[in-house]
Structure 1
Amino acid sequence: MESKQQEKEFIDKKTGKDSANPPEAKKKRVSFADDLEKMKVFDRRMKLAVTPSTASPGRSIIMKKEGGMREICNEVIKKSEFMQETSMNSVRKLAVPNSEEEETKKSRKRQLQKISCGKIRPTNERRKLQVTRKIKQKLLNMPKKERKVYIRELRRKHKPHFDLVLQCKHLWEKLRCGKTSETERKKLVIDIYGIVKGKVKELIFAHDACRIVECMVKNGGSDVRNALFEELVSEIISMTKSKYARFFIIKMLKHGSVVQRQIIFDAFRGHCVSLLRMSSSAQVLESAYNDYANAQQRYSIIIEFYGVDFSYFKAADNRVRTLKEIIMDFPSRKSSVVKYLENILIDIVDKPQIKLSLTHRLLSDFFEFAGNKQLEEMIDSLKLYIPQIVHTNDGVRIAMKCLWNSSARTRKVMLKNFKGLVMKTCLEEFAHRFLIAVFDTVDDTVLIDRYLLKELLDNIDEIIKSNYGVKIMHHLIHPRDPRFCSASQIAVYKAGDENPYSKKDSKLRYAELFSYIQKPFCSYFATNMDVLLFESHASLLILDLLEAPTDLDVFDRKVSLEDRAACYDAIALICSREFIPCDREQLHPVEHPQAHFVISKLLKSDSKFDIRLGDFIVERCRDQLSSWLACNKGCFILLHILENASQQTQKLLRSALSLAVVGKYHTKGATALKQKLK
């Protein structure tokens, strides 16, 4: 204690302080121009904070060097640490920073490293030429043409094959020109190959040189392709993973021989899992699997995703087998195969690879053998990406299984993701099946109306012209009607009927959905009947909506009298046109194949309704009826009206048709009508 007291008195005497009445401390400006090792005395109450400079580089620097900011950052950090160290030594550890200040400094250091030092140049940005301030001033003072030449010379120094690539580019411009003849193209390909021969490995990974090589593969003969392939065969995996060189592999798959394709597939062996995990190489693997592989080659790709050992050990007979057959042969391997698949799929679910048909095949295998807990986790991962997988056969089946095995909350998330995509989904071969599964499964019809039906009705004009979109319309009117849906597809939809999450009766669900679309459908048909009645898809849809109840009805389908009357009146108005037999511009509805079929079917069901189409036709076409006798189809239309219309309409029709006039015609329809009039 005495020694410390003496030391304190010595310091006070040295600095001129009085321990009894200490004077007010004077703040000093510290300059680091002198010797930094010299002792400086600081006041304890004075807090020292050293903040590194974050100033941007001046205009004199044309381009920041890639490591420039990293060096500056390291220098600032070292300097700040040195300043702190010297100041700490000067006060002999009297001012000790607390933990909060230390943490602030550490976070500041991490932030600087993140912002300045860790900056990465975008991959799609062209690498700019780095020059000094002196060269920049020289470039600014040059004319434009001289500057261009000077920059080219600078680039030539940085790139070893600059002149070679530049020479090839001039020939390449002629090669890819549409006006160049085939003979001249062959000659240009040979000239370019003579320049790059032996150096293709060094050029193929560059963005510009790679395009030249691809053009040679496309336009060159088999001899040039073989030479290029032999030179690059050892780099197949590296090129597949490259951003630019991968297009050479795609070109070789398209234009190469069967032997060369087999070499590429053999090179993929043992690397398929790693290729699928990268988005760029996954596109190459997908193209090879989906477009060019035969059954054996597809099997060699798929089997690698069942386990590491499957990549190297195959069955003795080399037979193509499904995962079901493999598990039947090796039951003990089931859990390991499913787990291996799960680990791969979890990694790529949220990546662009989720759109690939290869991924959908793997998902299909996983869903077939996974346990309930594994399925729940996978469905939870997939629920946001359902629109991205429904465009393939395997993908839409996976989407339907996700829908069937999801709770009401998860189903709502799935449907929300289709907002703005309903029309595109309706027009696709496989995707439209998912919407049909939604109509069969989801109990919340208000939700379906909000996210699906409103957009569907807004684009009804486009949808009913599509072979697949019209199936959705038929399903809303007649669910699972075998006239419009194949037996195999009905069996697929029935697989989801026993799911544990759908509680509402299917009849009630279909009736609620029909109530949402019945009035908009009738309004659209009545307004556009003059066009729709003559179209193949739309005319059958009109008949499906207005026809009488059948044994195929799943629910009690009712069209309001007002809407039915509007549609019947629109049909009658079209029939009131002047009848010209075999009109070249447009056939009369009575004579037109689609229109005649729809009108005949509706007239036959008139007796089952209070409002009858025959009444509307006779009322509007009274002056035209006799002219229909000249057409066989017209005679049958009159016969159907006579058989099913009201009594008053039948009297009007008999008065309009003279038996003597009908007897002049000898067609089958006229003969049957004559028998009915007697």
Structure 2
Amino acid sequence: MKRKDQEKTDVEPKTKKIKKSVGFSDKVNSDKISNVKTKKALVVPVKDGIKAQKVKFQKPTAAKKSDKGDKSKKFNKQVGKNKLKGSDADSKTSITNASEKPDWLEFKKQKKLLKETRRAKRLSEAYDVTVKAKKIGEILRRADCSKEEREEHTVQLFKLLEGQFGKIVFMHDMARIVQWLLKYCSAETRESILSELKDSIVLMLQSKYAKNCIKIMLDYGTAKIRETIIKACNGHIIKLISHSVAAPIVELAYSTWATDKDKLYFKQEFYGDMYKQAKDNEIKTLSDVYKSSPDMKSATLSAVKSNLVKILNKKVINTALVHSVLLEFLKNCTNEDRDEMIVMFRSFIVELSRTKDGTEVAIICLRHGTNKDKKIAMKALKDQVKTLATNEHGHMVLLALFDYVDDTVLVKKMVLSELQENVTEIALHEHGRSVILYLVARRDLHYFHPKLVEQLKQGDENATSKKSSEVREKELLDAVITKFLTTVATETAAWLSNSSISMVTLAILKVGDGESLINAYEAISNYITDPESIITENKVHHKAIEYSGLHMMLKKLIQHDKVLMKEEKPTFGETLIERLETAVIKQWVEFNRGCFILITLLENSTQSNSDRLIAKLKPLIKVLKSKKTPGALILLKKLQ
């Protein structure tokens, strides 16, 4: 009995505490609570191993506060007062109204009306003006608006907004109206608007909406307007070029409309604060700053580095101006500073590869970077290899990558796999074919300019590469040659469609081997012996055997048979002679170039293959005698 009494005394205070925590608001909603299912009981542990007691679960509440700070208590009292004031009938109607589905259409109308009312209060006088301006802007933007109507409405809109451009240009809806006005108005009106906005140009460049007005003025403005905008940027270049909103517009002005003098002034601001206001026409490169006083070198390089680090940290690197300054810095800085900068921009290889200076920066990264730097740079190329390979400057980065990265397994996985997926499309491109050629004919002067080869040779003795260039070249070639030959065999028409890609095909066939090479030979032989094979160039249709680009490629390929015969390998001439039937030969001798291909086959084949071809040609001697082309006459002499 004593033990049970003790159990009651232990449990009782705890249940009382829980009951005390129930607020007044819970009592008000007691009717609703009664309908809710009872929650799971809370087991309260008891000391000294006594059996646990179950009590009803209660939502935990915050600790008691003083009357002054207890907002919930005041709220509950107010609820109580309101409850007492209202009658039972009112409470019933409120419950039924709450259960009804709200009219969302009416709710949206009220919300829109409230928004317009608040806007009217905030803009006061400008509100009516913006409403009128939007109506005129709506007419201006329509394609069916005539030239006369546009002139009339632009004058009307300018008069309406005159004196208020400095405010409304920063509003998201009115900025669009100003853009239409700037696009369609006269040159005099455009200059009047610019004179009003002249002091706000730097702020506008940093505004999400106003920057588009600057872009319209650059696109449609006169040389004087562009000059005013570019001059307004002087002294603020570092601030603007490191701003994510302003940087694209500054880059557009720099690369499209800025004069050489303007570009020089833009770059000078990176060299130190002293050039923000005072420009110097004699300072054309970074080295000119400390040319006369070498003591300034460390301070100047420190200032440039600080500005570049600020921009790189914000990842605003896709500008020609930054690429130009970055290249100058890397050419003049110490090795320690160079390594530090490489770590910062190694993941921006794709962005750098869009300009000539940026490409040189990317090549420096691959040449002097550590293995880790190179790996991170290659990761950045994911899904971008095709874009890079077909870029005017970007394809050079891939050539450097093939030369300077020792880890060929990683190159195969990250770069060559994507390259092989799009090999035909890349080979058909003017710059893309250089990438294919570099893999199969590295630094061959038949395909690459000597200056380009010399530029790539500069990195051959870099400290980070340990593998010999010959080993690296062979490993990369082995990784791609089978896929290249298979693609030539399956897409023969594309790979012989013009003279440029025909030379790429020739380079691939010269280094090929095995079953894949024989398949490619057969596919090319079938294509050129098919009388329906047509090559179109500049809307002019040519028979395949008559086309000059293909003729040159076939001639060089047949001449290469002499090398293959010495190595006792299958030759293209042998494959072609097997497919030369009388009907095909009869068609070929009609063309001068067709006769010369037959002559080349006779001169570069084994004796047995030559005899087979002569046997096929002898029945056509009469036809050859009737032809007066140089090729037919020479072929006739060979047969006699």
Structure 1 residues 382 and 196, CA, compared in 2 at 3 Å: closer, same or farther?
same
1:235 to 196, 200, 203: 200
State the match for 1:15 in structure 2.
none
Trace 1:355-366 onto structure 2 (pairs within 5 A).
355-366=318-329
State the match for 1:457 in structure 2.
420
State the match for 1:656 in structure 2.
616
1:142 positional shift: 4.5
Preserved CA contact (<8 Å) 1:579 1:627: no
State the match for 1:607 in structure 2.
562
1:488 positional shift: 2.8
State the match for 1:327 in structure 2.
290
**Residue 628, structure 1, aligned to residue 588, structure 2:** yes
Moved more, 653-662 or 407-416: 653-662
Following the alignment from structure 2 to structure 1, what is the Cα–Cα distance between the partners of residues 217 and 494? 49
Following the alignment from structure 1 to structure 2, what is the Cα–Cα distance between the partners of residues 476 and 559? 12
**Residue 575, structure 1, aligned to residue 538, structure 2:** no
Q: Which amino acid aligns with 2:597?
A: I
State the match for 1:125 in structure 2.
none
Trace 1:129-528 onto structure 2 (pairs within 5 A).
142=106, 148-149=112-113, 151-160=115-124, 161-315=126-280, 318-319=281-282, 321-528=284-491
Structure 1 residues 576 and 286, CA, compared in 2 at 3 Å: closer, same or farther?
closer
Q: Which amino acid aligns with 1:603?
A: I
Preserved CA contact (<8 Å) 1:206 1:244: yes
Structure 1 residues 138 and 398, CA, compared in 2 at 3 Å: closer, same or farther?
same
Following the alignment from structure 1 to structure 2, what is the Cα–Cα distance between the partners of residues 651 and 141? 92
Structure 1 residues 159 and 400, CA, compared in 2 at 3 Å: closer, same or farther?
same
State the match for 2:83 in structure 1.
none
1:217 positional shift: 1.2
**Residue 590, structure 1, aligned to residue 545, structure 2:** yes
Following the alignment from structure 1 to structure 2, what is the Cα–Cα distance between the partners of residues 176 and 432? 42
1:562 to 506, 515, 519: 515
Following the alignment from structure 1 to structure 2, what is the Cα–Cα distance between the partners of residues 370 and 563? 50
Give aligned-pair identity as a percent: 29
1:141 positional shift: 9.2
Structure 1 residues 266 and 469, CA, compared in 2 at 3 Å: closer, same or farther?
same
State the match for 2:87 in structure 1.
none
1:637 positional shift: 1.0
1:575 positional shift: 2.8
1:179 positional shift: 1.3
Give the TM-score normalised by the residue count of structure 1.
0.76
Preserved CA contact (<8 Å) 2:533 2:543: yes
1:283 positional shift: 2.2
Q: Secondary structure at the match of 1:263?
A: helix
1:354 positional shift: 1.1
1:638 to 598, 614, 621: 598
Q: Which amino acid aligns with 2:575?
A: F
Following the alignment from structure 1 to structure 2, what is the Cα–Cα distance between the partners of residues 282 and 466? 31
Structure 1 residues 393 and 52, CA, compared in 2 at 3 Å: closer, same or farther?
farther
Preserved CA contact (<8 Å) 2:534 2:544: no
Following the alignment from structure 2 to structure 1, what is the Cα–Cα distance between the partners of residues 608 and 501? 32
Moved more, 467-476 or 273-282: 273-282
Q: Which amino acid aligns with 2:608?
A: Q
Preserved CA contact (<8 Å) 2:286 2:329: no
Structure 1 residues 244 and 334, CA, compared in 2 at 3 Å: closer, same or farther?
same
Following the alignment from structure 1 to structure 2, what is the Cα–Cα distance between the partners of residues 649 and 350? 68
Q: Which amino acid aligns with 2:195?
A: E
Deviations 1:12-60 (A, max 9, x none): xxxxxxxxxxx99978878999xxxxxxxxxxxxxxx99599xxxxxxx
Structure 1 residues 540 and 380, CA, compared in 2 at 3 Å: closer, same or farther?
same
Q: Secondary structure at the match of 2:448?
A: coil
Preserved CA contact (<8 Å) 1:252 1:261: yes
Preserved CA contact (<8 Å) 2:499 2:548: no
1:285 positional shift: 1.8
Q: Secondary structure at the match of 2:232?
A: helix
Following the alignment from structure 1 to structure 2, what is the Cα–Cα distance between the partners of residues 498 and 336? 31
Task: Mark the runs of 5 or more structure 2 residues left unpaired by the alignment.
Answer: 1-9, 24-59, 74-100
Following the alignment from structure 2 to structure 1, what is the Cα–Cα distance between the partners of residues 123 and 385? 51
Structure 1 residues 276 and 577, CA, compared in 2 at 3 Å: closer, same or farther?
closer
State the match for 2:576 in structure 1.
617
Preserved CA contact (<8 Å) 2:485 2:509: no
1:622 positional shift: 2.3
Preserved CA contact (<8 Å) 1:579 1:628: no
Following the alignment from structure 2 to structure 1, what is the Cα–Cα distance between the partners of residues 166 and 342? 44
Preserved CA contact (<8 Å) 2:500 2:549: no
Give the TM-score normalised by the residue count of structure 2.
0.80
Following the alignment from structure 1 to structure 2, what is the Cα–Cα distance between the partners of residues 52 and 240? 53
Structure 1 residues 172 and 595, CA, compared in 2 at 3 Å: closer, same or farther?
same
Q: Secondary structure at the match of 1:665?
A: coil
Following the alignment from structure 2 to structure 1, what is the Cα–Cα distance between the partners of residues 552 and 335? 51
1:422 positional shift: 1.0
Structure 1 residues 581 and 488, CA, compared in 2 at 3 Å: closer, same or farther?
closer
Q: Secondary structure at the match of 2:392?
A: coil
Higher helix proportion (structure 1 or 2): 2
Following the alignment from structure 1 to structure 2, what is the Cα–Cα distance between the partners of residues 546 and 463? 18
Following the alignment from structure 2 to structure 1, what is the Cα–Cα distance between the partners of residues 21 and 466? 81
Task: Name the count of aligned residue pairs.
Answer: 557
Q: Secondary structure at the match of 2:307?
A: helix
Deviations 1:325-377 (A, max 9, x none): 22212322211111111112112214341111121112112111111111111
Moved more, 176-185 or 138-147: 138-147
2:493 to 521, 527, 530: 530
Structure 1 residues 516 and 672, CA, compared in 2 at 3 Å: closer, same or farther?
same
Q: Which amino acid aligns with 1:530?
A: A
Following the alignment from structure 1 to structure 2, what is the Cα–Cα distance between the partners of residues 256 and 616? 65
Following the alignment from structure 1 to structure 2, what is the Cα–Cα distance between the partners of residues 308 and 50? 60
Preserved CA contact (<8 Å) 2:286 2:328: yes
Structure 1 residues 636 and 362, CA, compared in 2 at 3 Å: closer, same or farther?
same
Following the alignment from structure 2 to structure 1, what is the Cα–Cα distance between the partners of residues 121 and 105? 22
Structure 1 residues 638 and 351, CA, compared in 2 at 3 Å: closer, same or farther?
same
Structure 1 residues 272 and 650, CA, compared in 2 at 3 Å: closer, same or farther?
same
Structure 1 residues 431 and 176, CA, compared in 2 at 3 Å: closer, same or farther?
same
Moved more, 589-598 or 399-408: 589-598
Deviations 1:125-152 (A, max 9, x none): xxxxxxxxxxxx9997948667755653
**Residue 671, structure 1, aligned to residue 633, structure 2:** yes
Preserved CA contact (<8 Å) 2:529 2:580: yes
Preserved CA contact (<8 Å) 1:626 1:656: no
Q: Which amino acid aligns with 2:494?
A: V
Following the alignment from structure 2 to structure 1, what is the Cα–Cα distance between the partners of residues 334 and 369? 15
Following the alignment from structure 1 to structure 2, what is the Cα–Cα distance between the partners of residues 143 and 302? 56
Structure 1 residues 265 and 559, CA, compared in 2 at 3 Å: closer, same or farther?
closer
Structure 1 residues 259 and 674, CA, compared in 2 at 3 Å: closer, same or farther?
same
Following the alignment from structure 1 to structure 2, what is the Cα–Cα distance between the partners of residues 481 and 580? 31
1:602 positional shift: 1.2
Deviations 1:429-449 (A, max 9, x none): 111111100101111111111
Following the alignment from structure 2 to structure 1, what is the Cα–Cα distance between the partners of residues 574 and 616? 14
